[in-house]
């Protein structure tokens, strides 16, 4: 039913070599001798190592990206056999968990042996990142490495991840298409009276049957003539005539997310809601039209914002009108005033205008695009200008 | 098909009052004026606030547990409407994302107004916890609060979460039963030649249809006569005669996990594998028999370990033989030498012996229990002593 074939899982080694080569160039520009990675997406980005075991907070994991050569793994023994099956050659493992020294001394010995040119290493200390290890252990590590400054590596990491490769875009396109078709099919599965938890269960199963790997983000919210918020749900709520149902999804394929939403009218909704919905659709259209190399994400925000203001928007609580997308559901940049990130080919963005058109009644749309040489490609199947209807 | 009814979603306010009252008692004992919480499970534990939006790393969220009274929320505007629908009254929100000051000054002003008795606050800085905010922002916050020490609150938080209430146990029991029946049913859905990705897809759909909320952890691994590791998978691998298929699951209901595994023989496996499997089953039995109030988790480890050593175990790469379980897939304590945590009624544990019986051939079993007044209750449906068979 989908007109593109699923890409295979996993990447060629050349993909990882290109990633590391780019990261190492940025490290030199930023005068970093190494990067220390602890969090799932960053580790997978440079090694290809895939696991759902991140759900267990017990053991820290470390990947070191040196100034030259392949990344080095310093990880719990439980993960060593599979890490050895990636393109990484140098795998140091300890018998975790060992609360008294859960890898700290092993990691410090690996870091101490790295060549030092700048005397500085970057860790995931800054914007839109969190260290996946106890802060106290991180402070111990810093003390164990006198003469080596550990600074903020987040700008370097985000810069390395910002432009997506053809293989990455292929995965995002696939999951966007798959989720677009599942959204389209949903009116065949549900009707008025359905509980939102059951709506999500049916949609999740449909997404999995269409080839998704996982559905970690699927908030569904419904309210009379609009929604108050767009990130928490489903609750125990039955669809009633006059509701607008909003569903967003971060569905994944081979480690890459889509992130886009749809809206459904349950029976008849007010003219005001239909007008607001059309205005938000037009704002999305304006955002897509504005997105091309050489403009900033603030420009993309403005293109959407003027349409919403002309339609009488009271604002919204989302705080921006789209963002980067890739291995994470949301990545920098943010389409908002003050973010002057310049678009370039290979950047994947969400276009996400939203407006409150009456107190507590919000409508938010979202599509996913990738910037091309002369504009952008829509990765999702465009929503219709009128809401789908559930009877 | 399941003989217990699903509990409703959500908890009575009295549950949260009891949690906060216990946490505040422990805070006094540990001389903490407040707890600062940033991570999903801790925030949900004290507020009931549920979202899948944690997938977005963009915005930090903060909950402050003061020495007396209800928790206080300091959160992005996008979450404010739903936080206001919990039992929390005091919700401060800012228009995130604002990279230059993403809640730091608002949080500092809330913290500065708290009564100070000890001059110390606890944050998620220690064992089996990670701060969900940029470390640089955390260091800025510390500087903005002169005279207030921010120390390790993790031991206090884990102590508060360790003993589960009847309502929490009811949820874990439900999801354990549901997953037990899905495991039992799996041989009806698959056969030799099936790809492990399809096995996981079918099992996930079955778990959802039986009433699970989500299946965030479902590694499936298969290898000739045993597995090398138990945390990464599924890969693109077809089941072949002679394989042992291992599946573990952390399936959730209303925010609570099960965490247990099963093993299947694909056609005929070796006598050595069958003997090892029986020994690991016996070790599980010994662990369950040993678990009761007044013994330590090291005792529970030893009871399992002696059975495995007698059976010729070469060790394993898991590092322990079970652990705590609740809102996280793994929680302290660890069933291993050196962990002297004393068991008491209401503690939920996994019993998880594993042995390598030949090079690269490991068998691991797992069941979930809750400690009772005079022993323990098995929450899962006990695995059969012989592996299930797939033809």
E strand or H helix at A36: strand A34-37
Number of inter-chain CB pairs under 8 A, A vs B: 199
Task: Quote the pLDDT of residue A103.
Answer: 98
CB within 8 Å: A51 and B231:
yes
CB within 8 Å: B78 and A317:
yes
Residue B79 carries which DSSP code?
A: G
Residue of A nearest to B325 (CA): A56
> Which residue, among A10, A319, A366, would best test binding to B if mutated, counting the most B CBs under 10 Å from its CB?
A319
Task: Quote the pLDDT of residue B306.
Answer: 98
pLDDT in tens, B127-158: 999 999 999 999 999 999 999 999 999 999 99
Handedness of CA B122, B126, B127, B131 (dihedral sign): positive
Residue of A nearest to B329 (CA): A56
- Whether the complex's predicted ipTM is more than 0.85 is answered with yes
Task: With cut-offs at 50, 70 and 90, classify the pLDDT of residue B5.
Answer: confident
Does residue A362 sit in helix, strand or coil? Answer: strand
Backbone phi, then psi, for A210, in 5-degree steps? -85, -5
Shortest Cα–Cα distance, B53 to chain A (Å): 6
Question: Cis ω on the peptide bond leading into residue A333 (within 30° of 0)?
Answer: yes
Backbone phi, then psi, for A224, in 5-degree steps? -60, 110
Q: Which of residues 234-293 of B touch A (CB under 8 A)?
A: 235-236, 250, 257
Q: Which of residues 308-347 of A touch B (CB under 8 A)?
A: 317-320, 323, 328-330, 332, 334, 336
A121 C-beta neighbours (distance < 10 Å), count:
24
pLDDT in tens, B195-241: 999 999 999 999 999 999 999 999 999 999 999 999 999 999 999 99
Alpha-helix runs per DSSP H in chain A: 13-29, 40-47, 80-83, 104-112, 135-143, 154-162, 166-185, 196-209, 271-290, 297-310
Q: Which of residues 68-107 of A touch B (CB under 8 A)?
A: 76-82, 95-99
Query: Which of B68, B128, B124, B134 lies closest to B101, judged by CA?
Result: B134
- Span A13-161: which CATH code? 3.40.350.10
Residues B163-390, CATH architecture: Alpha-Beta Complex (3.90)
Average pLDDT taken over every residue of chain B: 97
Q: Which of residues 292-311 of A touch B (CB under 8 A)?
A: none
Domains A13-161 and A163-390 belong to one CATH topology: no
Alpha-carbon Rg for chain A, nearest whole angstrom, is 23
Distance, in Å, from the CA atom of B79 to the CA atom of A217, rounded to the nearest integer, reads 15
Task: Quote the pLDDT of residue B3.
Answer: 66
Task: With cut-offs at 50, 70 and 90, classify the pLDDT of residue B4.
Answer: confident
Whether A230 and chain B come into contact, CB under 8 Å, resolves to yes
Which residues of chain B make contact with A209, given a CB cutoff of 8 A?
201, 205
Q: Is A119 exposed, middle or buried (0-12, 13-18, 19+ CB in 10 A)?
A: exposed
Which of B96, B125, B231 lies nearest to residue A319, judging by beta carbons? B96
Whether B209 and chain A come into contact, CB under 8 Å, resolves to yes
Shortest Cα–Cα distance, A238 to chain B (Å): 15
Whether A202 and chain B come into contact, CB under 8 Å, resolves to no
The average pLDDT across A286-303 equals 98
With a CB cutoff of 8 Å and minimum separation 6, the contacts of B388 are B184, B186, B187, B262, B263, B264, B265
pLDDT in tens, B79-116: 999 999 999 999 999 999 999 999 999 999 999 999 99
CB within 8 Å: A57 and B81:
no
Cα dist. B115→B19, B62, B328 in Å?
21, 18, 32
The strand pairing partners of B149, in sequence order, are B120
Handedness of CA B186, A205, B232, B251 (dihedral sign): negative
Where along chain A do its domains lie? 13-161, 163-390
Residue A2 has pLDDT above 70, yes or no: no
Task: Quote the pLDDT of residue A282.
Answer: 98
Backbone phi, then psi, for A122, in 5-degree steps? -110, 135
Does residue B72 sit in helix, strand or coil? Answer: strand
Q: What is the pTM of this model?
A: 0.98
Distance of CA B354 to the CA centre of its chain: 19
The average pLDDT across B41-67 equals 98
Whether A359 and chain B come into contact, CB under 8 Å, resolves to no
């Amino acid at each position: 039913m989908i007109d593109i074939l699923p890409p295979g899982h996993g990447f060629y080694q050349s993909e990882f070599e290109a990633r590391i080569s780019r990261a190492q160039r940025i490290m030199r520009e930023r005068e970093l001798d190494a990067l220390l990675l602890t969090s799932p997406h960053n580790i997978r980005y440079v090694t290809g190592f895939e696991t759902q075991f991140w759900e267990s907070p017990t053991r820290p994991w470390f990947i070191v990206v040196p100034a030259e050569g392949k990344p080095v793994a310093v990880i719990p023994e439980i993960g060593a056999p599979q890490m050895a099956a990636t393109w990484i050659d140098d795998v140091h493992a300890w018998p975790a968990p060992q609360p008294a020294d859960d890898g700290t001394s092993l990691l410090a010995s690996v870091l101490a042996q790295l060549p030092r040119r700048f005397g500085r290493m970057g860790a995931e200390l800054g914007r839109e990142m969190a260290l996946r290890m106890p802060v106290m252990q991180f402070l111990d590590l810093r003390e164990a490495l006198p003469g080596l400054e550990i600074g903020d590596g987040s700008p370097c990491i985000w810069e390395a991840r910002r432009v997506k490769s053809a293989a990455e875009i292929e995965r995002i396109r696939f999951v966007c298409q798959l989720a677009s078709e599942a959204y389209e099919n949903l009116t065949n599965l549900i009707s008025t009276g359905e509980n939102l938890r059951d709506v999500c269960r049916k949609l999740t199963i449909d997404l999995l049957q269409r080839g998704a790997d996982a559905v970690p983000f699927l908030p569904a919210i419904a309210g009379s003539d609009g929604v108050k918020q767009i990130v928490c749900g489903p609750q125990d709520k039955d669809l009633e005539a006059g509701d607008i149902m909003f569903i967003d999804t971060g569905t994944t394929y081979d480690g890459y997310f889509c992130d886009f939403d749809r809206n459904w009218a349950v029976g008849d909704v007010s003219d005001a809601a239909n007008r607001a919905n059309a205005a938000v659709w037009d704002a999305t259209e304006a955002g897509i039209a504005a997105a091309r190399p050489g403009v900033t994400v603030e420009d993309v925000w403005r293109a959407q914002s003027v349409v919403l203001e002309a339609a009488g928007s009271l604002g919204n609580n989302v705080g921006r009108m789209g963002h980067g997308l890739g291995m994470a559901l949301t990545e920098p940049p943010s389409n908002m005033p003050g973010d002057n990130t310049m678009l370039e080919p290979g950047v994947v963005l969400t276009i996400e205008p939203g407006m409150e058109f009456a107190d507590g009644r919000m409508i938010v749309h979202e599509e996913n695009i990738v910037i091309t040489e002369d504009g952008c490609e829509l990765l999702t199947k465009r929503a219709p200008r009128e809401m789908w209807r559930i009877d």
